[in-house]
């Protein structure tokens, strides 16, 4: 009997992580969640940071679960959200706090960087959107605020590459993850060393970039001993959005996609980066994808807003009439279905920086409505309705921008990731945009991560074959615009 080959995706988002095992069965990809854990940045000395020790512990714990179930992976790969990194000293220990992208230390860094290189020139070089949390601004903030850190740092690793190093001992930078930081040349697909020199950043930190599918090595002996097995570690498309884009079952030229999770990344695939003035004005980004295809995207605040208000209500936030409301189910599916039944018509700009890292998301949504003279939502369901409708309107506006910038007409939107399970939001998106919406699979990032491993291992001959298998294995739900939703 042939041994079943398992492939493990460690898929870490900014709010949760999961270990997903996959194998082939009768021509279909079978996916199984082995372990799930909570994530979130913590406070340290007034800064938002990642607890990398905890995350490393969770990675190992999930791997041990694989051994306990007897499902030993042939290979594994790690993906995370973009832009964040670690700096290691000569002893290979952390040389600085593992800052989170929502930390406020980058305030004012953009303007200082633009004194060195104008914003328009920076976009023309890298094609990355303007965002205060980009790696370029994080590193420059460190240079100005704690110069001793960069002086003693010997190694710069994007976050998933750091955990791959802990697994294997190999310090390898993965291409798609690096492109999120605004320091990569979209022509050479390597670091823009002329830009790095111009910024005065230490060139030694920026080592060669490897494409998805590159093998990083096998588990270090001490890791093998702890988890109870050995396997190969393969670099997936380590940026979660690039992995999610890989598993979109169909990518014709008339289909947009949304990778919907903590962030909603909405865009299309392009063979070359679009660094036009129109793309810059609309704040679109060009992030590296599998096989060097570009993900031309707009970052939209996404379900972070729903995640935040859900946490506040679960922690005891009260509202008028709360004492009479016996319904305390704040699950995402229930929030979405209850929101559909409300009537409040207020909307907010989901891309407003006020929603990036507020002390109270509820308070900011209410304030934004009050300041614009709209009805102020009170209950969880009203607040959820404001957020979901605002997201759908943002999707509509973004679709129109993409059509104008690319000169193409799009007829469908494919939503992948956890947000594809928000049924009313999917219907709203169809209604608002007038396009057919295809939803699923929900675990797109993990599936894409596994796809890069399987293609590298010869299970699939190419990306197209993998995508066909994804469609056959998981299918999609279709939502058609019905014209009943009015803005």
Residue 383: CB partners within 8 Å, gap ≥ 6?
Answer: 309, 362, 365, 366, 377
Q: What are phi and psi of 152, to 5 degrees?
A: -95, -10
The bridge status of strand 73-79 relative to strand 47-49 is unpaired
Of 198, 199, 181, nearest in space to 190 by CA: 181
Angle between helices 304-314 and 380-406 (to 10 degrees): 170
Q: In this structure, what DSSP letter does residue 387 have?
A: H
Of 301, 459, 327, nearest in space to 386 by CA: 301
Helix (H, G, I), strand (E, B) or coil at 276: coil
Q: How far is 416 from 241, CA to CA, in rounded Å? A: 10
Burial environment of residue 471 by CB neighbours within 10 A (0 to 12, 13 to 18, 19 or more): middle
Q: How many of the other CB atoms lie within 10 Å of CB of 452?
A: 30
Q: What are phi and psi of 31, to 5 degrees?
A: -115, 135
C-alpha R_g of the chain: 22
Residue 324: CB partners within 8 Å, gap ≥ 6?
Answer: none
Half-sphere exposure of 472 (CA within 13 A, CB side): 12
In angstroms, what CA-CA distances link 443 with 152, 308, 448, 485?
A: 39, 21, 9, 29
Beta bridge partners of 269: 295
Provide the strand spans (E) within 289-350.
294-300
Residue of 240, 324, 325, 457 marked catalytic: 240
Q: How many of the other CB atoms lie within 10 Å of CB of 26?
A: 5
CA 112 from chain centre, in angstroms, equals 27
The bridge status of strand 436-439 relative to strand 412-416 is parallel
Residue 427: CB partners within 8 Å, gap ≥ 6?
Answer: 437, 479, 482, 485
- Are residues 179 and 245 in contact, defined by beta-carbon separation less than 8 angstroms? no
Q: How far is 93 from 96, CA to CA, in rounded Å? A: 9
- Are residues 171 and 271 in contact, defined by beta-carbon separation less than 8 angstroms? no
Burial environment of residue 372 by CB neighbours within 10 A (0 to 12, 13 to 18, 19 or more): exposed
Q: How many of the other CB atoms lie within 10 Å of CB of 158?
A: 26
253 is catalytic: no
- Are residues 201 and 138 in contact, defined by beta-carbon separation less than 8 angstroms? no
Active site residues: 240
């Amino acid at each position: 009997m042939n041994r079943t080959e398992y492939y493990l995706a460690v898929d870490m988002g900014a709010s949760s992580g999961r270990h997903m095992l996959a194998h082939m069965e009768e021509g279909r990809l079978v996916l199984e969640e082995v372990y799930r854990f909570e994530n979130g940045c913590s406070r340290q000395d007034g800064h938002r940071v990642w607890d990398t020790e905890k995350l490393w512990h969770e990675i190992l714990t999930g791997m041990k679960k694989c051994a306990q179930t007897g499902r030993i992976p042939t290979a594994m790969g790690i993906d995370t959200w973009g832009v964040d990194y670690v700096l290691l000293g000569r002893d290979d220990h952390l040389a600085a706090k593992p800052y989170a992208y929502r930390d406020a230390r980058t305030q004012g860094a953009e303007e200082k960087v633009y004194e060195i290189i104008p914003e328009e020139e920076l976009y023309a070089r890298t094609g990355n959107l303007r965002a205060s949390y980009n790696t370029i601004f994080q590193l420059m903030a460190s240079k100005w605020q704690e110069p001793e850190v960069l002086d003693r740092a010997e190694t710069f690793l994007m976050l998933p590459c750091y955990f791959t190093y802990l697994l294997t001992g190999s310090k390898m930078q993965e291409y798609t993850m690096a492109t999120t930081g605004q320091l990569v040349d979209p022509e050479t697909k390597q670091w823009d060393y002329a830009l790095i020199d111009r910024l005065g950043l230490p060139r030694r930190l920026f080592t060669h970039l490897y494409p998805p599918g590159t093998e990083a090595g096998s588990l270090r002996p001490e890791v093998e001993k702890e988890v109870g097995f050995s396997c190969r570690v393969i670099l997936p498309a380590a940026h979660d959005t690039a992995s999610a884009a890989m598993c979109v079952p169909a990518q014709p030229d008339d289909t947009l996609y949304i990778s919907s999770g903590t962030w909603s990344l909405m865009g299309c695939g392009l063979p070359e980066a679009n660094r036009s003035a129109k793309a810059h004005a609309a704040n679109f980004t060009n992030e590296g994808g599998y096989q060097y295809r570009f993900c031309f995207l707009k970052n939209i605040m996404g379900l972070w807003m729903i995640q935040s208000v859900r946490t506040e209500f679960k922690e005891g936030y009260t509202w008028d009439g709360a004492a009479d409301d016996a319904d305390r189910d704040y699950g995402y599916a229930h929030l979405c279905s209850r929101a559909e039944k409300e009537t409040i018509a207020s909307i907010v700009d989901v891309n407003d920086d006020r929603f990036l890292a507020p002390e109270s998301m509820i308070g900011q949504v209410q304030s934004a409505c009050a300041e614009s003279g709209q009805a102020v939502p009170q209950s969880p369901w009203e607040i959820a309705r404001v957020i979901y409708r605002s997201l759908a309107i943002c999707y509509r506006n973004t679709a129109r921008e993409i059509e104008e910038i690319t000169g193409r007409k799009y007829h469908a939107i494919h939503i992948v990731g956890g947000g594809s399970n928000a049924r009313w939001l999917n219907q709203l998106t169809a209604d608002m945009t007038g396009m057919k919406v295809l939803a699923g699979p929900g675990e797109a990032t993990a599936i894409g991560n596994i796809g890069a491993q399987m293609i590298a291992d010869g299970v699939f001959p190419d990306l197209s074959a993998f995508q066909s298998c994804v469609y056959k294995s998981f299918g999609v739900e279709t939502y058609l615009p019905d014209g009943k939703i009015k803005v």
